[in-house]
Amino acid sequence: MLIYFAAPLFCHAEKAFNLQLAGKLEERGLSVFLPQRDGVESSKRPYSEMTIDERSQAVFVVDRDKVLEADVLLLVLDGRVPDEGACVELGIAYGQKHLLQRDKLLVGLQTDIRGAFLGARLNAMIHGALDYIADNENDLIAALEEYRYARKDGRGPLQTGRENWTAP
């Protein structure tokens, strides 16, 4: 089962958190595509020889293709608002799931209590696209493991007994 790890990755703290959580998931036998580690690296060929525009397009293509390949999209929602690139990745995965009827779990992790919306921590369009939102790493890992075993048993995510799959 491949997890696409959609998250902000622009400062040391974000990158460290992403690596730490990806490591925890991988220790449990889950395969994780972490763009900051596994995606386009500007210092490596052929990307180092590209213009900024070419490299930006390469980032989009590589990440888009991995979103489409993944069985799970994990979206880190921490911050005042979620990262805009990660939200685009969620939109791609949501479109694939609903337009092509692909079995794909769209899960969020929101450990941050801040929110930009009165009475809500998330924009309704982001909240509504997710199958499940965990508020801590342990619940996230439990949900991912439950989904993995449900898939092995031939059950879809709505049949796993988790009350909150469809209404985060």
Q: Are residues 44 and 126 in the same domain?
A: no
pLDDT for res 111 = 92
Nearest to 141 by CA among 25, 15, 39: 25
pLDDT tens digits, one per residue of 54-95:
999 999 999 999 999 999 999 999 988 899 999 999 999 999
Residues 166 and 115 in one domain: yes
Q: Provide the whole-model pTM.
A: 0.89
pLDDT for the residue 151:
84
Do residue 77 and residue 151 come from a single domain?
A: yes
Q: What is the pLDDT of residues 112-133, one digit of tens each?
A: 887 666 567 788 899 999 999 9
Domain count, the chain: 2
Q: Is residue 140 part of a domain?
A: yes
Residue 32 lies in a domain: no
Give 133's strand partners. Answer: 108
Do 83 and 157 lie in one domain? The reply is yes
Give the span between the Cα atoms of 35 and 76, in whole angstroms: 13
Give dist(CA 82, CA 59) in Å, integer: 19
Q: Is the pLDDT of residue 167 over 80?
A: no
Are 79 and 158 within one domain?
yes
Task: Specify whether 117 is located in the same domain as 51.
Answer: no
Residue 104 falls inside a structural domain? yes
- Comparing 125 with 155, the larger pLDDT belongs to 125
Residue 77 lies inside a defined structural domain of this protein: yes
Range(s) of the domain holding residue 63: 38-69
* pLDDT score recorded for residue 45: 84
pLDDT of amino acid 119 = 64
In tens, the pLDDT along 7-48 reads: 999 899 999 999 999 999 999 999 999 999 999 987 888 988
- Domain membership flag for residue 4: no
pLDDT-based confidence at 155, cuts 50/70/90? low
